Structure 1
Amino acid sequence: MVLNVITKTFDELSNVELYKLLSLRNEVFIVEQNCPYLDIDNKDQKCYHLLLSNNDTLVGYSRIIPAGLSYNEVSIGRVLIAPDFRGKGLGLKIVEESIQSCINIFGNVDIKIGAQFHLSNLYGSFGFIKDGEPYDEDGILHIDMIRFSNKDLK
């Protein structure tokens, strides 16, 4: 598998890239997780979009969110791996690349996330610590986590 990682602003995305990422987000977060919610939330235009591709196939995605838009800190959201590409270690790859993208764009800053609770150990392996109590978001247990800027990337 030959992986390509690229991070773009909303305006830099091609129509095809935007269609692919919105389609994959819809497939995973709305259909697969059975969560009818408004994925298109007027944040995408202000965010950076990390695309993990194998040839022309989008296999992973995350949204890099500037400070003040979701949290006071920079954030990573909408992290996903396409169903056909799970179990290959790509979850670790997308988290690592997302953290690196935050650092490249914003400098060595604190990063806060709203993680699905069952993934808190995965995020913990990258230096994220729990920040508060678990909460329900669209029927899925989540927890806020923060990675302080003094952490080294794996």
Structure 2
Amino acid sequence: MEWHVKRFEELTAKELYRILAARVAVFVVEQNCSYHETDNKDEAAIHIYVKDNEQITAYARILPPGYAYEAPSIGRVLVEKEQRRTGLGAVLMKKALEITVNEWDAEKVMIQAQTQAKSFYEGCGFETVSEMYLEDNIPHEDMVWTRPL
């Protein structure tokens, strides 16, 4: 497995296609959720992913401060179904947090977490900061990670 960290303009057409295909496979098809996957935030994002035999197996999108929240944020976090519960998601989040701290000297990082994944994010150091709300008919909670002193 090889990790990649790229800004939008560094992605090849093939890489972008594979990223979007992976996101649609998880968030639209697997979760049976119809929503606009392309939201005009990808161009500002840092994209982190790992691939195995040219297939994206884990991915996250890191947004700068002011795009989704006042603080930088991590979103579109996914791990391919066959790779879940292997520790790959925790490695992905650790790398995404490191990038966020290095890029913007972030004291805090926000996420919009699906409630069913709350315990996973808590294990990565995030704490809930909102009530549950529906986003595209899926329960979500806002969570924050605070950089240790």
**Cα distance in 2, alignment partners of residues 148 and 92 from structure 1:** 16
**Cα distance in 1, alignment partners of residues 106 and 118 from structure 2:** 22
The aligned counterpart of 2:127 is: 129
The aligned counterpart of 2:23 is: 25
Alignment check: 8 A CA contact 1:74 1:112 kept: yes
Q: TM-score, normalised by structure 2?
A: 0.94
**Cα distance in 1, alignment partners of residues 106 and 137 from structure 2:** 33
Moved over 3 A (4+): none
Q: Which runs of 5+ in 1 are unaligned?
A: none
Segment drifting more, 103-112 vs 73-82: 103-112
Q: Cα deviations across residues 51-79 of structure 1 (Å, max 9, x unaligned)? A: 11224221010000001000001000000
Alignment check: 8 A CA contact 2:72 2:106 kept: no
The aligned counterpart of 2:105 is: 107
Instruction: From 6, 9, 16, give the equivalent of 2:7.
Output: 9
Matched residue type, 1:46: A
1:23-62 alignment, distance < 5 Å: 23-62=21-60
Percent of pairs with identical residues = 36
The alignment status of 1:142 with 2:140, answered yes or no, reads yes
Segment drifting more, 23-32 vs 106-115: 106-115
**Cα distance in 2, alignment partners of residues 10 and 143 from structure 1:** 27
Alignment check: 8 A CA contact 1:8 1:48 kept: yes
The aligned counterpart of 1:86 is: 84
Distance 1:11 1:30, change over 3 A: same
